[in-house]
């Protein structure tokens, strides 16, 4: 094992210099301690803010759940009672199912027809050719 002489380093060894000529170890240690204190303060503030946001989120979810369970169900029941009174117990649910099914079929049919129309349009545009008779091709060289 060969050690190199600090007065005559090998070419791969680099001489590093500090940015300040009189860098004190105590000053560096003080800066590191100050920085770690600031990091602790920031992490404490962040954890407090995250806790507050979490509490607000939980309160919002609870409030939305209560409002939905209390008000929405009562309003839906009231609307269904009004519809039943107006229609004299006519079967509303099957009517709604048939209407939704009809709308879905109309949407699918319109998509199908529009895709067929687009297919015909692209076939017309891409296959548009000049119609030539057989004698036209034979006479091309004679002109």
Q: Report residue 91 as tokens.
A: 């079967």
| Mean residue pLDDT across the chain | 77
Give the pLDDT band of residue 118 (cuts 50, 70, 90). very high
What does the alpha-carbon distance between residue 64 and residue 62 come to, in Å, rounded to a whole number? 6
pLDDT digits (tens, 9 = 90+) for 35-86: 888 888 888 888 888 888 888 888 888 888 777 777 666 777 788 788 778 8
Q: What percent of the chain has pLDDT over 90?
A: 15
What does the alpha-carbon distance between residue 73 and residue 62 come to, in Å, rounded to a whole number? 16
- Pick the more confident residue, 33 or 102: 102
pLDDT digits (tens, 9 = 90+) for 93-117: 788 899 999 999 999 999 999 999 9
What does the alpha-carbon distance between residue 13 and residue 10 come to, in Å, rounded to a whole number? 6
Residue 120 has pLDDT above 70, yes or no: yes
Residue 17 has pLDDT above 90, yes or no: no
Residue 69 is given by DSSP the state I
Residue 13 has pLDDT above 60, yes or no: no
């Amino acid at each position: 094992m060969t050690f190199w002489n600090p007065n005559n380093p090998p070419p791969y060894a680099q001489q590093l210099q500090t940015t300040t000529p009189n860098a004190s170890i105590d000053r560096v240690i003080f800066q590191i301690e100050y920085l770690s204190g600031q990091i602790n303060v920031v992490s404490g503030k962040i954890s407090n803010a995250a806790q507050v946001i979490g509490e607000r989120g939980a309160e919002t979810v609870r409030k939305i759940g209560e409002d939905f369970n209390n008000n929405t169900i009562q309003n839906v029941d009231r609307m269904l009672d009004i519809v039943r009174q107006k229609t004299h117990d006519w079967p509303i649910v099957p009517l709604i199912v048939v209407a939704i099914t009809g709308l879905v079929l109309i949407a699918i049919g319109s998509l199908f027809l529009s895709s067929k129309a687009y297919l015909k349009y692209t076939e017309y545009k891409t296959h548009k050719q000049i119609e030539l008779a057989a004698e036209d091709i034979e006479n091309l060289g004679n002109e």
